[in-house]
Every structure is written in C-alpha cells, then in structure tokens.
Amino acid sequence: MIGMALRHNAACYLIVLLVTAAVSPARADAAALTMGQMQAVSTNGSLDVARNPSLMTAQNTDNSLGVLLLYAPHTQRRYSHSYYQDSSLLSGSARDLRHNAGTVSLSYCRKTSGGMIGLALDTDERYSGAFTRYKRTYTGIVKGSFSHTEIGGQLMRLSPRFVFSYGGVVKGEHSLGVQCAAGYSFSRDDTDYFIVENFQPGQKHHSSKRTEEARAELSAGYLYRTADSQVGLMIRSGRFGWQKTKIYYNRADFFPSAYLPVAVQLRFAGSVSEPYTFKYDRAFGIIAGGYHRPARYIALALEGEFQVPIAYNIKDLRFDETTYFFALPQNLAVNRSGLICIRAGFEILPDGPAVISMGGTLRFVRERKKGMYLRETVRTEEYGGSFGLDIRAVDNLLIMAGARMTYTRERRKAEMSYRFFGSGANDGLTTFLHTDCFIGTSVGF
C-alpha cells in the first residue's frame, strides 16, 4: 500500500510539472540544482547567493528573491555488522522506525553600483532539519550468561546557516566574488537502554546527549561567462567550528536478592559536559567546473571538487553501549583523506519554456580515528542522481522542480579497548538510500 501511494504521488508530481511546462510562454535558462547540484557553474537565480558568489553577476534585474523547499519522502537504511567482545558471542541488528527530513532555503540578491550583494538562509548539511526514531538490539552470550540489550531512541538535528555574498564584473566576461558563511548546529539524542541477563531484568538506563556547534567558512569565486559557455572556480577556506557537548543520564541496576522476592534496585543520575572546543573538520577545498552548449538543443556540465587531507584532534564524550559508561571522554586524533567529488549533468533544450535536466554525483572519503579506547576507520562512498525541470513561466520568474536520489555505502571497522572490560570490535557495512523531492523559484523585480 505504501509503495503504491509513493508511485501514485510521484506520477501526479511529474504530470503537474509537464503540464506547467507546456502552458508557459517563455524559454528557461540553465539551472544547476536539477543538473547534479552544481556549485561553480550554471545558474539558479537568486539561489546562487549560497553557491559560487560570482554567479550572481548573471542576473539582469535590480532585485531578486529565491525560495527552495526540499523534503525526503523516503529513506531506507540497512545495517550489516558483526560484533566481538572478550568472552562474548554477540549478534546485533539496527533499523530506523521513522525518519523525516527537509530543507528550507531563502535568498535575496540586490544590484548596487559596485556589484551584486546577496543574503541567504540555508544549510551546509544534507538537510537543515531531521528527525529519526531508531532501534538497536544486541543478543548473545557474555561471560557464560545470556544477555539481551534493547536500545531505542530518537535523534533530532537542526543546522541553519546564514550566508553573505558579494560579486562583481571585473572585465568583460570575467567576474569575481567573495562569500562569508556562519551557521549553528544543534542535535539532541534521547536514548533508552534495557538489558536482560539470564532472562531477568539487569539494567535500565536513559541518556540525553545534546551537542551545540557554531561554524564559519570563507569562500572566493571566479566565473568566465559567454552566451554558450561558462568556466567557474570556487576556493573554500574549510570549516571552523566550536563544539559543546553535554549528557544527562539516569541509571538503574538490578541485583538478585536471597531475602527479597524481587531484585534490589540501585538508581543514580547525573550529567557530564565538555565546554566549547575548537575544531577544523572540513579542509581547504577547490571546486572547478565548466558548462557548454555544443548544439542548440543540448548543454553539458562537468565539475570536480577536492579537499586536501586533514588531521585534527577532537574531545569525544559519549555514552558507551558496550560498557554502559555514561561519561567516556577521550582525546581522538582524526585523519581524513582528501575528499574527491565529481558532478556531471546535461540539459535538453527544446523550443519552449522548459529545460529538462539530469545529473549525477560521485563522492569518496576515508576517515581514521585513534584514541586511548578506540581505533576506527570509516570509508564512505556516495552515488547520486537527479532529474528535474527548469521553467521560465514569465520574464524574470524561474521555477525549478525535481527529485534526487542518493545511495551511500559506509564501511566501518572499529576496535575498542576498555580499562575494566577487555577489548571489543565492530566491523560492518551500512547503506543509506535517500530520495528527495524539491521545488523552488527565483523572482526578479
């Protein structure tokens, strides 16, 4: 029933787009969002404020407003992990019971005597807001006793970002721009733990982990633009952050008693926190791309992104699911390989107001963490595709709508050592499938 509903909604969505395109009178320009989420070339009207800032010089109106709405109607995650702990034989499973996510982007651009000035409110994460309800279980033999652990909780994340951009024409077809972005991220993870040992209640815990982070990033952009071609370059400083973490917890342990018909309960509660610490978790990067119309009815775009390898230290504070320690702080040395991302897309430009766009994305990165209790390697591969229409309904009005699908493979291998509990390991693959639908507009006046 759910699958039929999704297919029905998708079919109605596509029909509405095609009908809108058919009755619109003018011809649309190129747009980047539906063509593989380009960052350095092509145009999205006022929404260019949050991309290559020199792209704003392509606008021909004194003012423009942009709105983009994105929602994830379908998300699927699959976990395939193996667990090992000294004197233990464990198996585990994990799944998401519910996942809602979306993004709202707003932008404004104004022409001045010296160039274009733009303001935007968006996000530098996949979504500006997300809510997930999850469940994990671990079952097995621990030191000769049967043990079953159920973990359930909900995770909420918000990550808005404010962007200021300036762009101006230097000479002829050459433009330059600068950009300053500042954001805030907040996440709250509320988790309940229930442990059964030898078919009797053993432990029951609750933790609430709250993380706040302030972020900042600087960028510069260049654009060479003619009637049929564009060459764009964007240089990013990397992301600077200041993060604060606090964990509230309560814990109940049950001990069997020879004198009472029920187990003795030991309960305690408290909180632990780490003050704001500096982190530089996104390295210096370069994005370069090109856009060209080799024929009247087709256009091609190709873009590459590279972030240099980076090493930094972070203060990790977490509740450990294996030992049930509520405050397990440690200093982690993080080494991240150079991120490589390739985006490609093409447009079909028929006579009429609509441009049909398709694009794809490949992204690869590897990260290693090393601390007193943890050694972890995470390798991430991401494959994405997008499809949409860009419609110039009337002069100075651009409407864009479409969908994108992203498939991510995350291979995680971790070795844990504990002061009192020996050692453990986790090796497994997690796959994510995100399907997003979006609609946006840019209005010039």
The pLDDT value recorded for residue 326 is 55
**Residue 223 exposed, middle or buried by CB count within 10 Å (0-12, 13-18, 19+):** buried
Q: Calculate the alpha carbon distances from 261 to 197, 257, 258, 373 in Å.
A: 17, 7, 8, 40
421: left (phi over 0), alpha (psi -120 to 50) or beta: alpha
Residue 337 per-residue DSSP state: P
Is 320 a residue whose pLDDT tops 70?
Answer: no
C-alpha span between 347 and 31 (Å, rounded): 9
Is 222 a residue whose pLDDT tops 70?
Answer: yes
- Cβ atoms of 134 and 95 within 8 Å: the answer is yes
The pLDDT value recorded for residue 256 is 59
Mean pLDDT (whole number) for 274-287: 88
> Confidence class of residue 17 from pLDDT cuts 50, 70 and 90?
very low
Q: What is the pTM of this model?
A: 0.84
Is 393 a residue whose pLDDT tops 80?
Answer: no
pLDDT single digits (tens) 24-52 = 333 445 568 888 889 999 988 899 999 99
The pLDDT value recorded for residue 224 is 96
**Residue 11 exposed, middle or buried by CB count within 10 Å (0-12, 13-18, 19+):** exposed
